């Protein structure tokens, strides 16, 4: 299983700021910061999105979408449970549709 590190938002912001100021590529900056090249590239790309420099979902919209999808999944499960319960009680009481 790969090692997974958690970096603070402040560290990410600072890493992107240093990368942008350095005028060097991702590789030298990532080595200096002790993170992988792909990690720095992803952070810089997401920062561009968040600052509306690129047309993709911002972090805020992505988090909202993730939350709404979870909420929708729960509501669908609850609906299925209620339908099964209604069918069960309809059969028990002899009422059928």
Which option is the CATH number for 1-56: 3.30.450.20, 1.10.10.10, 3.40.30.10, 3.30.300.130? 1.10.10.10
**pLDDT tens string 48-68:** 888 877 777 778 888 999 999
Where exactly are the structural domains of the chain?
Answer: 1-56, 59-97
Mean pLDDT of 75-84: 97
Measured CA to CA, the distance from residue 87 to residue 58 in angstroms comes to 43
What's the chain's average pLDDT?
87
pLDDT confidence of residue 26: 85
Report residue 1's pLDDT band, with 50, 70 and 90 as the boundaries.
Answer: very low
CB atoms within 10 A of CB 37: 14
Count Cβ neighbours within 10 Å for each residue of 6-23 and write b for 16 or more, e otherwise.
eeeeeebeebbeebeeee
Report residue 85's pLDDT band, with 50, 70 and 90 as the boundaries.
Answer: very high
């Amino acid at each position: 299983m790969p090692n997974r590190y958690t970096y603070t938002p402040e560290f990410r912001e600072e890493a992107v700021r240093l990368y942008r100021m350095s005028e060097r590529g991702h590789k030298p900056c990532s080595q200096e910061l002790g993170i992988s090249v792909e990690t720095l590239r992803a952070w810089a790309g997401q920062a561009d999105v968040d600052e509306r420099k690129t047309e993709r979902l911002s972090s805020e919209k992505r988090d909202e979408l993730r939350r709404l999808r979870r909420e929708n999944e729960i509501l669908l499960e609850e609906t299925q449970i209620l339908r099964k319960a209604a069918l069960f009680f309809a059969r028990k009481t002899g009422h059928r549709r």
